[in-house]
Amino acid sequence: MSWPPRRILVGTDFSSASRAAARAAAGLARRTGAEIDLVHAFRGGTELVTGYEPLDALLLRAPDPARARAHIEAELAALAAELAPLAVKSHVVQGPPAAEILALRERLEVDLVALGSVGLRGLRRFLLGSVADRVLRRPGCPLLLIRDANPAGELKTIVVAQEYPDRATPWLELALRIAHAERSELVVLHVLPRAGYASDAHHVDLEPQKTPEK
């Protein structure tokens, strides 16, 4: 991906975290001239799931697909209105959210995917899993996870996880560009492995006792 982005895809389940992702993406779009695409994915039929909130209802009864789609379209229209005056395109797709986001990412040739960072627990985690985790497992354009965003969408702090602390990566270079453009604080994170962890030649933990020094 080159900076600035030309097109940003925002996955939403209408939760507070996904709305924060939309605000952050809109803030970037206003400052860079990028286009915004909103997408919500649902599963049809007797196993229809839309976002997180209807999951509790799903345990009791299956929602009506036509009624659910109409509700989704209304929610997307309301969210797009909140991002005005940006021209926002909305997409309602059917299928597993991660797979549909990945497919749309390739079809639209987006430069950045933005998702809300949600900590699911218990039954919700078991049934839904982590959409962000599944998107991360399929390399492509960068994924921006947003935990919170103010109304203007400024990025105050950016955290980049670095697997290799001794070399630059495209993601680190991109984060540096974003941080410079947004005047954000940049935090680079590398997690040390536990003592005795069996690794390969690319990691710094071949000698666990010396890992802190390296």
pLDDT one-digit tens code per residue, 112-165: 999 988 655 444 444 444 787 788 778 788 888 888 776 666 788 888 888 877
Percent of the chain with pLDDT over 70: 72
pLDDT at 192: 79
Residue in the structure block whose two tokens are 């990566």: 169
- Mean pLDDT, the chain, as a whole number? 77
| Distance set, CA 204 to CA 76, 170, 190, 193, 198 (Å) | 46, 20, 11, 9, 11
Residue, of 166 and 30, whose pLDDT is higher: 30
> Which token pair is 164?
């290799």
Residue 38 clears pLDDT 90, i.e. is over it: yes
Q: At 179, list the tokens.
A: 């941080």
Check residue 128 and give its pLDDT.
Answer: 44
Range of weakest confidence among 47-56, 62-71, 183-192: 47-56
Find out whether 69 and 89 touch, Cβ atoms under 8 Å: no
Provide the 3-class DSSP secondary structure of residue 119. coil
DSSP H or E segment with residue 144: strand 143-146
**pTM exceeding the 0.85 threshold for the entire prediction:** no
Residue 50: pLDDT over 80: no
- Write 127-135 long-range contacts (CB < 8 A, 24+): 127/49, 127/55, 128/49, 128/52, 128/55, 129/98, 131/11, 131/97, 131/98, 131/101, 134/98, 134/99, 135/98, 135/101, 135/102
**Which pLDDT score is estimated for 213?**
52
Q: What residue type is 104 in one-letter code?
A: L
Answer positive or negative: Cα dihedral of 50, 55, 57, 63.
positive
